[in-house]
Chains A and B, each alone.
Chain A
Amino acid sequence: MTKLLMIRERIKSFYSRYEGFCNPALKFILAFITFRMINKNINYAAVLTSLPITLILSLLCSFFPMNFILVLGVIVILLHLYALSLETVLITGVFFMLMFFLYFRFSPKDTILLIMTPLCFILKIPYVIPICAGLVGTPMSVISTGCGVVSYHLLHYVAGNAAGLMTQESDPAFALEKLRVLIDALMSNREMQVEVAAFAITILVVYIIRRLPVDHCWTIAMITGLLIDIVVILVGDLRFETRISIAGLIVGSIMAFVVAVILKFFIFNVDYSRTERVQFEDDEYYYYVKAVPKNTVSLTDKKVKKIKGSEKNTASAAASEDGEVPEEKVQMDAPEYRVRRSGSINSTVAGNKNRTRRIKIPEGVDNRNI
């Protein structure tokens, strides 16, 4: 466990130091995966599917705010669908417009959730999303996740019925028929409705539980959330006959739990505060300040304390009086932690969060070994 903690600290320190490079690189990767997935699933405009175009678009996204990926993604989708038929563009455009009215008004910072929801559906791990959204998001994440679910199902339907939606005739009656088919597909998709409801309930439950002032609240939230997700989907399946795969639900839920545990390890009680550069002035000076967050764990120091035989006997004698068995070899992996009996560590963080604060030792870590 200590090794894992050290790896986490390394990642954290790397991110803090190279945040200026990490963020654009991560945005580039996310944008690239998003555009590749779009091109793979709805590849009707051949010009957009070429690798150089995808790379250029991804590179563009890496320099702009996260929401730019979303806007560009929607434009790419609409261009693909334009090559398919005008009616599809109309319906999808209206849906995206409604989505933006909800999303940009209430949860504009949930871009990652909105993008990841369809991606997780494509990767067959959709149940990860409500758990993660509940753990790291807000109740408003319900909107972004819901929009993501509807986007996936709409595009999935279009991709599966492209032949029927392809422009063939310029007859207005035929166009209206296609419009009707698309609206029906969206409105009568019970699977989508059940998933939106299940995800919304799960997100709210996980969010409420993880904020409770109880021990292991994140773990309790994850398990409860998964169970509620399964129950709601099963009830929805029985009520509306959605034909959701039960085996897929169980396997997906197990995967969701694994991902949530990893997420918890990297996010729970970890401060990814970044290096900040600010400038200000007073009557006498101009200040150009670079505030670098302090790291809390020494990564390389390792001391092995050996207790010799004679000392052992002495220690044994002393311990036998206390009823304890002495340790022969003590390995200290992270000696800079100052451990309190209560299980919390004092550390001072400099920079923009210049205050003394208490960091709780993550669950499952025996603080006597740190």
Chain B
Amino acid sequence: MVLNNIEDLLEKYENGETTLKEEQQLKHYFSQETVAPHLEMYKSMFTYFLGNQQEQFTKDIPLKTKRTFNYKWIAVAAVAVLMLGFYFKEPMITSYEEYAYGTFNNPEKALDEVTKSLAMISSHFNKGTSTVNYLNEVNKGRATLGYLNEIENTTSIIFKN
């Protein structure tokens, strides 16, 4: 390449007016073994630029797919738990009822049980009414108080006169 041409390019280059293509030409020229001695300092400049282009980023990029916790799954889990709950609870209730109230196959035994429980109820009921009897005493007391009223009547008659 003609040296004149290079010098022109360098001047343009320093004014920031060169195109990328022209800069490529310059880089190419200065990557040669020998350049004009008065342009020696440009050589180191352009070799630096070219050399620096080779540098690479070697570290790997730790790309983590961000695990955003999906709250949908909580609903799914809750439903599953509920379903399981109903499923296991149903038979337990029926067995409990059978155990609690009992069904008697033998009518005599049933009658027995009924009279027994009815007797228990009536005895407790009687106990209750016997305690209510004390209220009669209160009535008796009130009747005696009635006499006091009569005394008052007579005294008022006396004082009137």
Tell me, yes or no, whether A binds B. Answer: no
Contact residues of A with B, CB < 8 Å? none
Contact residues of B with A, CB < 8 Å? none
